[in-house]
Amino acid sequence: MNREGYVGILRRVKTPADVRGLSTAQAVQLAAEIRTFLVKNVAITGGHLGPNLGVVELTIALHQVFDSPRDTIVFDTGHQAYVHKLLTGRSDFSSLRQREGLSGYPSRQESEHDVVENSHASTALSWADGIARGYRLRGGPNRHVVAVIGDGALTGGMAWEALNNIAAVKDHPLVVVINDNGRSYAPTIGGLAHHLDTLRTTRGYENFLDWGKKTLKRGGSPGRLAYEALHGLKKGLRDVVMPLGMFEDLGLKYMGPIDGHDIVAVARALRRAKDFGGPVLVHVITEKGRGYTPAEKDTADRFHGIGPIHPETGLPIAPSRFGWTSVFSDEIVKIGRERDDVVAVTAAMLRPVGLAAFADEFPDRVMDVGIAEQHAITSAAGMSFAGVHPVVALYATFLNRAFDQVLMDAALHRAGVTIVLDRAGVTGDDGPSHNGMWDMALLGVVPGLRLAAPRDEATLRAALREAVSVEDRPTVVRYPKGPVGPALPAIDIVNGVDVLGRWQAKEYRGEAANRDAAAAEERPRVLLIGIGAMAVTAVTAAEDLAAEGVDVTVVSPTWVLPVAGGLLDLIADYSIVLSVEDGVVDQGIGERISAAATRAGFTGTFVCRGLASEFIEHSTRVQILTDQRLLPADLADEVRRAAEVEAN
């Protein structure tokens, strides 16, 4: 067990029952110990530090009031559940987000206290609504459901669909806790944010009470009357469940706003909400990064998710290498300078997707829609109709949520929209929900859509420029997480397809040297197709095969959807073709190329390699590629097996 920072009261807390037995002073001390633990441990492994520092007292209060797992607590988004893990007996953070270590999100495999692996935002309220309805229908002992949702996640439309339905069932034993820190990955935007700002800052009874106190000190009778009247109402106004504003319009009862770092106040509010007997919304104000000076002073939200850092300063131990996101960030700014019709759209992730520099230079040409990918795509289609070219930058995993909008709003209407997918393919340590492995298979069914999978810096820059030049259909540019690999310039272009290398079989020694020309002609001719970041893997595999006497060529088409006719013409000259991609192999790019080649008359062997259609647990990229048999040696083995089959 990792004991770093694991002292005092925290050492004795192994179950939520231990939390419920603490005095107020002990709970406050526990909060301080948890913050020390998180900073010291997450500094070593990396992870979501800022969100968890902000919910320490809130999570302690939740476990003081509710009886998990009998009562169900659902976190949205789940990266704020580290404190919950600690209070439910998971104290070994030494391998957080590493293979066989703790997940960075709630995980049913880890604990009965975890219900939803909730790393896609805005879903917790729907989960909570369904669980509460199920409990009511099944009858039995009274069980409560709590959904903890950030103000950022409330910008997602699914959350409001859920709230609409939650409010319709008056005896729902359901408590919605809004963890309001004014941020998601970035400052929360939109009408909801303004409304919460108003609730945060407009506490009329308290302002009037303060005025009464001051006037009373000066001997003013109006002040005395105001003070006496409001003092009597103070308890009711602050603590009694009451409706407010747009939440009242929905039919929800509202409590707050409450200082989320006051354990006593939060616990008191949660108890009243629990006892109410119907759906209640508890509005809690917290500070992201609370108690850690570097995070409190940070304005760029660098501590939302971090790599290993020096805990004393918050500075990274190893500076980030130049990555794919940085290339996009640089190139989109250059394009923006050349074309004033190019605008950028982000879904609450301005900095993570590399649009901060564009926003700094062109603040009027950036739209942050909040956690609302569906709205982002359809709004972009509308902007295209109005004569501008929107570039929508998302994590690849989050495009899954907006597939219908890509299909029916962008593609059906032939909208000139460019979608840039960061963290496509294998992402690793964020776990199964964040691997951006579904995009190419999903988008392959969209009529007219063009998709590019660049292999290096130069092809990313070129693909982005070509994408924004297309005005009669949606275009997609996808690239992986992490540093950019080596430059892979084309040595030739055949039928419009980049050829990365040709390796002729080396002369055999001994008996092989005496083979006649006819026998040499029978050696299989192998074509490797490297899709995107897997092109370098294909090149390495080709070098290994060539050393064994195999004639092999490697190509890497940047634009992979739709399948280019030139690639099909090239394939016809080979007897064995192998494609490799970092997306799901089923219905992936390789299978589409194979099907098109077969229709064009190809009769050789076509091998498709990619990720299995399964949820891949958190590991490093190398570990995942090893498990999936997507290393160069694995590709070479596939070619050898295919050659043996052909020979027989």
Round to whole Å and give the CA distance between 390 and 381: 8
Tell me 318's DSSP state. Answer: S
**Torsion of Cα atoms, 7 then 8 then 13 then 17, to 10°:** -170
Q: Is 259 annotated among the ligand-binding residues?
A: no
Q: Is 70 a catalytic residue?
A: no
Whose CA is closest to 282, among 304, 297, 267, 300? 267
Question: Tokens 């007292």 correspond to what residue?
Answer: 57
Report how many helices (DSSP H) and strands (DSSP E) the chain contains, helices first. 27, 18
Q: Is 591 annotated as a binding residue?
A: no
Residue 332 half-sphere exposure, CB side, CA atoms within 13 Å?
32
Q: Is 288 a catalytic residue?
A: yes
* Cα–Cα distance measured from residue 526 to residue 571, given in angstroms and rounded to the nearest whole number: 9
Task: Please list the residues that pair with 476 across neighbouring strands.
Answer: 419, 451
The yes-or-no answer on residue 506 being catalytic is no
- Catalytic option among 401, 423, 455, 609: 401
Distance in angstroms (rounded) separating the CA atoms of residues 503 and 550? 8
Interatomic CA distance for residues 41 and 27, integer angstroms: 21
| H helix or E strand, kind and range, residue 159 | helix 157-166
**Do the Cβ atoms of 609 and 589 come closer than 8 Å?**
no
Question: Does 119 belong to an annotated binding site?
Answer: yes
- The single residue of 33, 57, 117, 373 carrying the catalytic annotation is 373
Does 373 appear as a known binding residue? yes
- Residues 509 and 505: their CA atoms lie apart, in Å, by 12
CA distance 594 to 451: 17
Catalytic residue among 97, 288, 351, 481: 288
275 is in an annotated binding site: no
Task: Please name the residues in contact with 465: beta carbons below 8 A apart, sequence gap of 6 or more.
Answer: 331, 335
Would you say 148 and 58 are in contact if contact means Cβ atoms under 8 Å apart?
yes
Pairing of strands 551-555, 525-530: parallel
What is d(CA 213, CA 225) in angstroms, rounded to the nearest whole number?
A: 10
**d(Cα 522, Cα 517) in Å, to the nearest integer?**
9
How far CA 359 is from CA of 326, 334, 385, 410, 562, in Å, comes to 14, 13, 23, 24, 32
Are 237 and 29 spatial neighbours (Cβ–Cβ below 8 Å)? Answer: no
φ and ψ at residue 138, rounded to 5 degrees: -80, -20
Task: Judge whether 151 is annotated as a binding position.
Answer: yes
CB burial string 269-280: b at 16+ within 10 A, e below: bbebbbeeebbb
- Which residue reads 């907006």 in tokens? 402
Structure tokens at 226: 């105001």
Euclidean distance between CA atoms 192 and 296, whole angstroms: 24
Cα separation, 487 vs 484, whole angstroms = 9
DSSP states of 226-241 as a string? HHHHHHHHHHHHHHS-
Decide if 385 contacts 359 (C-beta within 8 A). Answer: no
CA-to-CA distance for 45 and 51, rounded, in angstroms? 16
Q: Is 205 annotated as a binding residue?
A: no
Residue 292 marked as a ligand binder: yes
Per the annotation, binding residues for thiamine diphosphate are 79, 119-121, 152-153, 181, 292, 373
Which residues are catalytic, by number? 288, 373, 401
Which residues fall in the annotated binding site for Mg(2+)? Answer: 151, 181
